[in-house]
Structure formats: structure tokens, C-alpha cells
Structure 1
Amino acid sequence: MTATDEILAIPLWINGHAYLTMAPAFLDVCDPRNGQVRRRTPLCGDLEARAAVEAARAALAAWSAQTVGQRAALLAALGDALAEYGGHFAALIAEETGRQVEMAAVEVGNAVSLLRATAGGVATSTGSSVVAIVSDQHAPLLGPLQRAVPALLSGATVVLKPSPRAPSAAFALAELTARSGFPGGVFNILHGDQLATEALCASKEVSLLLVAGEPAFGARVAAIATRHGKPFAD
């Protein structure tokens, strides 16, 4: 067994639990501060995308049937859970982005505030639908949440594809959704790069693609969505 083999691959999160897959390729997640390989991201494609989207579709009716207040209460509970593990999340963000822990903690704090603010939030127009979110590594926790929170509040279910270079905060957040009472399938994590994005754009069950990231990244994702005729917002 090689040293690379001993580095664990980060699972997907589908239907309320960790989901392991043998992807055709993996990306080493390195700490930019020292070059150390921390974990490996599976570069998934159509098979895993179908599983994640199907879980989101199956959860949609029950989730959208809840009141806005009920959904907001779960999001606020997620914010409380995130605050409890704030130091852990800051460390994950720092080791995958190279930022100082103190700066990563600011991102976590802003994410907590966003989730807690839903107690008086207003639903957006995404409505009862399956929404895909594709994120870069610029703000691996706050960026996706800025897209996911309004969608979830409105009754949409979500498939998030985080950056393969900084996937851990998103996966850890998915674990907290289960601890906070979210039904399985409401919030799913699909790992990968362009092939995973292509698969989400090709899915007829995905009504809207949301982009969280820098303008250049958004332009690349928009080009993929346009090629597939998928509505998107960046």
C-alpha cells in the first residue's frame, strides 16, 4: 500500500448519510501552506449525480409541504450547530484554502449569522424544485450557503457540488444537517469537477443551477449550463 492509498477519500452526502463511491479518478486536496495532502476528492460523474438528484427529488414534496417557519427553524438550528463546531470548520477551511485560521473563522461566523437570520427570513422564488449549486474554493462554506439558504427556505431541495480542492467544510455542514433534524435528501453533496457539473446540467430533474464563486469561475459554469440549456444564476 502506498502513502497515497492511505489518504482517505472524502465521501459524498446523499439522502441523509455518507455515500461512498469508487470514482474513476481522485484529486489530492493539499494544504497550500505546506503542500501536505490532507485527503482525496472523488471526481464523480453521471452515476453519482443521478443518485444525488434522485434523493433531492424524492425529498422535495415533503420538504416543500413544510411551512416557511418550519424550514427557517431547521436552518437556524443548523446555524447553532455550526457555531458549536466553529473552530473545527475554521481549521478545515484554513487547511484547504491556505488562509489564516482567524480569517477562516470570520467566514464561519458570517455563515452562522446567515443561517440564524432565517428565523425572520422571506422565501425566494426558487420554490418547490431541485436546485443544483456549484461552488469554487473562494469561500467554501459561506459561498454555497448564500445560495442554498434562500433556496431551502423557499422549499427547494439542494444538490451542492463544492470545489474538489476545498470540499470538507461542505461535507461537514451536510453532517450537521442530519444532526439538526433535516430530512434525508434535502441537502446533498456531489463531489467532482467539470464532469459532475455537466451531469447536473444534463439532469431534467434539476430546475435551476446556482453558481457560488469568482466571476471567471461563474463564466465557465455558465458556459456549461448554456450548452445544456439549463437555467442558471451567478
Structure 2
Amino acid sequence: MSAATLRVTNPADLSTVAEVPTAEFADFERAVQAARRAFDGEWSRTSAAERAELVLRFLDVLEKRQESLVDTVVAETGALLSMARRVQVAGAIQHARTAVRIHAALPEEEHNPIPLADLVAGDRVVTSVLTWEPLGVVSAIPSYNVPLFITLWKIVPALLTGNTVVLRPSPLAPLTVLAAGAAAEEAGFPPGVLNVLVEDGTAGAQLMTSASQVDAVSFTGSTAVGSAIMAQAAPTLKRVMLELGGKSAGLYLPGAVDRAADGIVTVMRAMAGQGCVLQTRVLVPESHKEQVLAEAADRVGALRIGDPRDPATDVGPVISAAQVERCAEHVAAARRHGGRVVVGGRARPDLGGHFFEPTVVDLDDTANRLAQEETFGPVVSVIGYRDVDHAVALANDTVYGLSGAVYGPAGEALAVARRIRAGTVLVNGGYFGPYASSGGWRHSGEWRERGREGIRAYQQVKHVTAVSS
């Protein structure tokens, strides 16, 4: 490790949470080599039951440290205390435990359904089997907004399926991930199986995505970085699993416009809008638009911004000064395009941290940055549509395809949902659980996380065929 340190700042009050030693490029090289040796050695040949036992032991350690993890998540991300406890820590551990059960139920090999005439040919019997095997060394790079959740989504399936992992947390929120690494060490993972390194830069991450000893990369973050990772991984033809940006639409049919204000408030309260699946474009009938804007202005204007540890707080900070500036830039771009800010719209440095007011903007169309680019902050646009066809066109008018939602009478809403181009579409709400996978289309990513698909993503298929002699 180098003598350099990374200063981790509390986004709510700008205090220093910790000074973390950072890894040098040579440390990343050694970590990749250690992961390679561990995989080529004993780890990939351990039984599924042995790996599951270690993962469960690791989760037991995390569970014992829940309160400390909650404190860490709040301090480094600014998440509301209640959400950090219920979702970011307890929910993450529960999802991971369920992943162990899902993996245990998946077959390690499956017989191909070969016609009998091909199975038995003369005096020979043919066997044809698909086996599911680990990829090798996996580079895992989670984002900052829900650090433990995303880390466990990546490393638990990877380890269960027999891979080794090099894990690099976001420099904006490394402490929770480091705590997970310490828990894995206490649980007794063999050397080289899970390697956690922090850096204040990108050289190590670029090695993780380009080194020939690495077989796969799992990344959550911006589309721009995801695109760069694909390019870095291309020469060695790695598997690249990406969950990237989103500009999800919440489409409210005429019979459900009374739910629109609730949806807007949900975006604000959920990590101050810092969620890639959040419905930051709200589509409502033109005839109801003013009603929705008035209700949203009242509801959002009453939200309390401030200390995420205060139970009365509704909206905490965003992660950094750069993120505050991005929110301000998108609101300014909307204004230049004719958008009208109906509530909020300002940075709030007077609150002592990286705060931006919960903001609702009235837009006439989707031809501006606020409607097209991911803001990742408490800023929602409201756009009117003429009819269902126009609403679907607006919902699909984006390069992203991560998530979306339709609200209204069930049958009608389901028919509309089938026309939305996204990896997940909610109809009058949805299921966010460990059995259901998620993943993006188009600029929102590749592959899936969670569920059986999120486990199979860390495996490759081998065809084994044999003929009786």
C-alpha cells in the first residue's frame, strides 16, 4: 500500500469520516495475480456446499455488525438513517442469504433433451450434458449510492459459483465495502479469493478491466464509464456485466393521476434521487398536468431537507459538490429550453453540506438535458401527453432502458407496459426481491443481477458429450 490516503467526507456536514490508505498500481497487480492463483488452485474445485458455508459465515459476521454498518453507510453516503438500516444493510444481507438458497437449487449439470433415435445409435449410447462452471477471476466495481447492496449482488454470486474476486469500491464511499472485506476475512475465506483495494484514481480500475488474468468485469455506475470498460475489456474478450444509467419514466394513465405526486415524493426520499431506477420523468395526461404540478409543489415543498440521522428529515444530501453542480446544470438547461421550475431548483450550501432542493420542473417535451440525461439527484420533470401512443413514445424517447412504470387500471396498464422498452417495467408498483433479476437494455447495461439470472451470469456453459464404447 502507498503512503497516500483518501479522505472520506460526510456529504451532510463535510466533516472527515476517515482517512483511508490507498493502493498503488502494483498492489492491484498483486491482487489480480493472487486471485488468479487462488482460482487456478483449490478454490474453483471446492464443492458448492463448502462455498455456501463460507458465504453464510461471512453474512453472519455482517449481521453481527449491522449497527456499525448502518452508521458507516449514513456517514459516507448521506442516506437517511431509516433507509440505511432497513434497506441498505438489513435488506442487503437478506437478499444475499436468499441468493445462497437460489444457487443451491440450481443444477450444476443438465442433460440435453436429445431424441431417442440420436441417444441410441446401433450399439452405442450417447450422453450429452451441459455443465455450469465458474468464469475465473471477476473484477467487481460497485457504485456509491447503495454500496453494501451492490457489493453483495456482485461478490456473493461470484463466490458461490467458484470465482475469485478483485473488488474496488467507489472512492466516494469505500468504508462500507472495506467493512465487508474485513467480515470476509473473519469468516475465513482462503487467501486470494476476495481482494479489496481502494484507490483515488482510475489506474487500478483500468488494470482490473483490461488484464489478461481477469475473466469478467461486473460494474455499476455511469454509462460513460461502462462504455470505457467495454472498450478496455474488448481486447481480451472478457464477459462484461454492466448496470448503468437510467432515465426511467413513470407513466400515469388518466385513472391514476392522483398517484403521481406520491411517485414524485418517493423519488426525492429515495437517496435524494440518487438511484438509477428512480422514475425521474413523470408522464401525465395534458388535461391533468396542472393538477399534478400543483399537488407536487405542495407535497415536495413540504419535504424537510437536512441531517440524514434526524428521523424528521425527508431528503438528505447528494454525494458531492460535483453532483450538486450537475443538478443545477440540468435545471438551468431545462429553463433555457422553456421549462418552468414549480418548486425547488436551488443548491443549499447554507445547510452545511452537499444539498440540493427537491425540485419539480414542468417540461413541454423531452428535447432537453433534464429529460435525456441522468441527473442522479432530487430533480423530477413532469411532461404532458396527448394520448397513450404519445405517452409510450415519450417514455421510449431515451437512450436508456433500465426501468419504467405504468399506473392505471390493471389490464390497460399491463398492455401499455408491454410497449415500454426497458429491462424492468412495474405495473402499479412492483416486486423488488432477491428472486427477481434486474438489468438494463441499450445504454443502461448488459446482463442481469439478482435472481437465478444474476447467478448464472457468473458461470459459463460447457458441453460434455460421451459415447459408450
The question of a shared fold, defined as TM-score above 0.5 by the shorter chain, is answered with yes
Q: Which residue of 1 aligns with 2:226?
A: 218
In structure 2, how many angstroms separate the alpha carbons of the residues matched to 1:163 and 1:179?
23
Counterpart residue type for residue 208 of structure 2: L
Q: Of residues 58, 64, 69 in structure 2, which corresponds to 1:84?
A: 64
Residues 94 and 104 in structure 1, CA contact (< 8 A), matched pair in contact too: yes
Counterpart residue type for residue 131 of structure 1: V
In structure 2, how many angstroms separate the alpha carbons of the residues matched to 1:65 and 1:45?
31
Tell me: CA distance 1:136–1:204, structure 2 relative to 1, closer, same or farther (3 Å).
same
Q: State the 1:189 CA deviation.
A: 0.5
Secondary structure of the residue that 1:121 maps to in structure 2? helix
Q: Of residues 18, 26, 30 in structure 1, which corresponds to 2:9?
A: 30
Q: Which has the higher contact order (CA 8 A, sep 6+)?
A: 1
Q: After the TM superposition, which of the residue ranges 179-188 and 82-91 deviates more from structure 2?
A: 179-188
Counterpart residue type for residue 140 of structure 2: I
In structure 1, how many angstroms separate the alpha carbons of the residues matched to 2:233 and 2:9?
29
Q: State the 1:210 CA deviation.
A: 0.7
Counterpart residue type for residue 99 of structure 1: A
TM-score between both structures, scaled by the size of structure 1 = 0.82
After superposition, the C-alpha distances for 1:47-72 in whole angstroms (9 at most, x for unaligned) are 11111112211221211111111111
Q: After the TM superposition, which of the residue ranges 156-165 and 42-51 deviates more from structure 2?
A: 42-51
Residues 148 and 158 in structure 1, CA contact (< 8 A), matched pair in contact too: yes
Q: Which residue of 2 aligns with 1:18?
A: none
Counterpart residue type for residue 22 of structure 1: S
Aligned length in residues: 213
Q: Which residue of 2 aligns with 1:67?
A: 47
In structure 2, how many angstroms separate the alpha carbons of the residues matched to 1:225 and 1:43?
24
Q: Which residue of 1 aligns with 2:210?
A: 202
Secondary structure of the residue that 2:52 maps to in structure 1? helix
Q: Which residue of 2 aligns with 1:132?
A: 139
| RMSD, matched Cα | 2.3
Q: What percentage of residue pairs aligned between the two structures are identical?
A: 30
Q: Of residues 109, 113, 119 in structure 1, which corresponds to 2:90?
A: 109
Secondary structure of the residue that 1:142 maps to in structure 2? helix
Q: Does 1:154 align with 2:135?
A: no
Residues 96 and 153 in structure 2, CA contact (< 8 A), matched pair in contact too: no
Residues 135 and 215 in structure 2, CA contact (< 8 A), matched pair in contact too: no
In structure 1, the gaps of 5 or more residues are 1-20
Residues 75 and 118 in structure 1, CA contact (< 8 A), matched pair in contact too: no
In structure 1, how many angstroms separate the alpha carbons of the residues matched to 2:9 and 2:96?
29
Counterpart residue type for residue 25 of structure 2: D
After superposition, the C-alpha distances for 1:97-121 in whole angstroms (9 at most, x for unaligned) are 0112221112111221123224423
Tell me: CA distance 1:222–1:71, structure 2 relative to 1, closer, same or farther (3 Å).
same
In structure 2, how many angstroms separate the alpha carbons of the residues matched to 1:176 and 1:68?
20
In structure 2, how many angstroms separate the alpha carbons of the residues matched to 1:147 and 1:227?
23
In structure 2, how many angstroms separate the alpha carbons of the residues matched to 1:99 and 1:59?
36
Q: State the 1:36 CA deviation.
A: 0.6
Q: Of residues 65, 80, 84 in structure 2, which corresponds to 1:100?
A: 80
Counterpart residue type for residue 225 of structure 1: A
Q: Which residue of 2 aligns with 1:57?
A: 36
Q: Which residue of 2 aligns with 1:9?
A: none
Tell me: CA distance 1:230–1:26, structure 2 relative to 1, closer, same or farther (3 Å).
farther
Residues 72 and 121 in structure 1, CA contact (< 8 A), matched pair in contact too: no
Secondary structure of the residue that 2:134 maps to in structure 1? coil
Counterpart residue type for residue 207 of structure 1: D
Q: After the TM superposition, which of the residue ranges 93-102 and 111-120 deviates more from structure 2?
A: 111-120
Stretches (4+) displaced over 4 A = 123-126, 214-217, 226-230
Secondary structure of the residue that 1:71 maps to in structure 2? helix
Tell me: CA distance 1:220–1:90, structure 2 relative to 1, closer, same or farther (3 Å).
farther
Q: Of residues 25, 38, 45 in structure 2, which corresponds to 1:46?
A: 25
In structure 2, how many angstroms separate the alpha carbons of the residues matched to 1:69 and 1:233?
26
| Bigger Rg over Cα | 2
Secondary structure of the residue that 1:211 maps to in structure 2? strand
Tell me: CA distance 1:214–1:87, structure 2 relative to 1, closer, same or farther (3 Å).
farther
Q: State the 1:27 CA deviation.
A: 3.3
Q: State the 1:176 CA deviation.
A: 0.9
Q: Higher helix share goes to which structure?
A: 1
